Amino acid sequence: MTLFSDQFKMPFDESMAYQQPEAIVLASLAGIDSSKWELSLHGCVFNKDMEAELQRLSDVSRDRNIFYDPAFFSASQERLGLPHKKVLILTEVLGETRTLKLAMPLQQEKVGLPPHNVWRVWSNPFAPLSTPLIDGDDFKEVVSKFVQMIPLVESEHSGAILFQDLPMESDFFKELLRHPDMAARMVVHGENERATLLPDTPEGYMKAAFSKKRARELRRQFNKLGELGELQLEKVDVFWEVMIRFEEFLLLETKSWKGRRGTSIHVLKRTAAFARQAVANLVTGKNCYIYSIRLDGKVMASMIVFKSRGQFYLWKIAFAEEYARYSVGKQLAVFVSRDLLAEENFEGADSLATSDNNLMNQIWFDRMKLCNLTIGLGESELQAKNNAMKIVEVVDRKNRAKVWVKSMIGKLRK
């Protein structure tokens, strides 16, 4: 697979492309038929064979995660500049053949005082999901081997693995719970939820999501907006059309409150380059749509949606604030919802929205439960549990501080 369109490849520091460090083998187990399993830590720059293996794994993974697909992940690696980023992989070795069975990108961090080493599985506001890629054909065996290798990882490498934004309904999470050995090492904390869309008919969704009064008000606002000019609901999925609409999205978002607060994608060149490349990569593989509401050709609202087989992700939305009285953001979200439900082989859609997001909470009534999961490493179960608890304490304290700061900033802005 070509990760970058030949017509749309962003420049980056080529000197970085060949600085891949040696893989560190953390643990190994004997398999059957002379096979062997290896848990290892890799740098994030791969040769073509490894890229192809990662793409294959993404294509067959039991749990979907579009953000760990090489199309998205490569764009983030080259442009976000996240320090100490690695990939933890589990490989089955049979003779000269090495088959990738599990992969999760992570950052090596030190947290707390005194500092504790932790592997934080990659999750951030641009990619709020930490479900690892796991071969669906041998799913139970792969998770079992992963669980068996956790005690073999020496504490000098890390004291714990921290998953944030991990769906509690994911097969990975549920399979971990089936292993008694993990109970002594796992701490589940920071539970929350976010809006999700489950399979239904477009008509059934509208009836379930909106009362007659709310549906009537939405139609009234839509008709009022239509009185101002020619109104169009648009969906594009062709490469150059998507890239044009993406640039349009950037300008629309920058004009909104995100631009005023300095949090829009376009504010930082590096962030804009990452997002532009991620969209280009995904639309090349037919895994990106951009929806918009247009008035006389001018964009009123725009949404970027990613796709991984039958699973969809509402990545970003922006709308013209001067038309807020027509609920253009909500109108667009309803249009997107109805269109996704009509998609062939639709399995579900993740809003990626925070639990306090008023827009998506009003539009979608189903909820996805998420949590933080900390797994202590090392041979001693007692020490592993202690390591996990220390990490949990630091993470929860930082999260409480973030909530307090956000609350104070909100009060000051009022």
Residue-number span of the structural domain to which 271 is assigned: 200-346
How many Å separate Cα 133 from the centre of its chain?
Answer: 12
DSSP class of 127: B
pLDDT by residue (tens digit) across 59-84?
Answer: 999 999 999 999 999 888 767 766 66
Could you tell me if residue 356 is inside a domain? no
Q: How many domains does the chain have?
A: 2
What tokens does 108 get?
Answer: 């090596």
Q: Are residues 248 and 331 in the same domain?
A: yes
What tokens does 110 get?
Answer: 């030190």
pLDDT band (50, 70, 90) for residue 3: very low
Could you tell me if residue 354 is inside a domain? no
Q: Are residues 173 and 250 in the same domain?
A: no
Reply yes or no on whether the pLDDT at 226 is more than 90.
yes
pLDDT by residue (tens digit) across 313-355?
Answer: 999 999 999 999 999 999 999 999 999 999 999 999 999 998 8
Long-range pairs of 47-53 with CB within 8 A, sequence gap ≥ 24: 47/20, 50/100, 51/1, 51/3, 52/1, 53/99, 53/100
pLDDT by residue (tens digit) across 395-404?
Answer: 666 666 555 5
- CA separation, residue 97 to residues 1, 11, 37, 137 (Å): 20, 34, 12, 17
Could you tell me if residue 36 is inside a domain? yes
Reply yes or no on whether the pLDDT at 184 is more than 60.
yes
pLDDT band (50, 70, 90) for residue 388: confident
Residue 373 CA neighbour count, 13 Å, CB half: 26
Q: Are residues 181 and 208 in the same domain?
A: no
| Segments in 33-170 forming alpha helices (H) | 48-60, 70-79, 139-149
Q: Are residues 187 and 232 in the same domain?
A: no
What tokens does 411 get?
Answer: 């009060």
pLDDT band (50, 70, 90) for residue 213: very high
Q: pTM above the 0.95 mark?
A: no
pLDDT by residue (tens digit) across 130-147?
Answer: 999 999 999 999 999 999
Yes or no: say if 266 and 259 are a contact pair by the CB < 8 Å rule: yes
CATH code for the domain of 76: 3.40.630.30
Could you tell me if residue 352 is inside a domain? no
Name the average pLDDT for the chain. Answer: 87
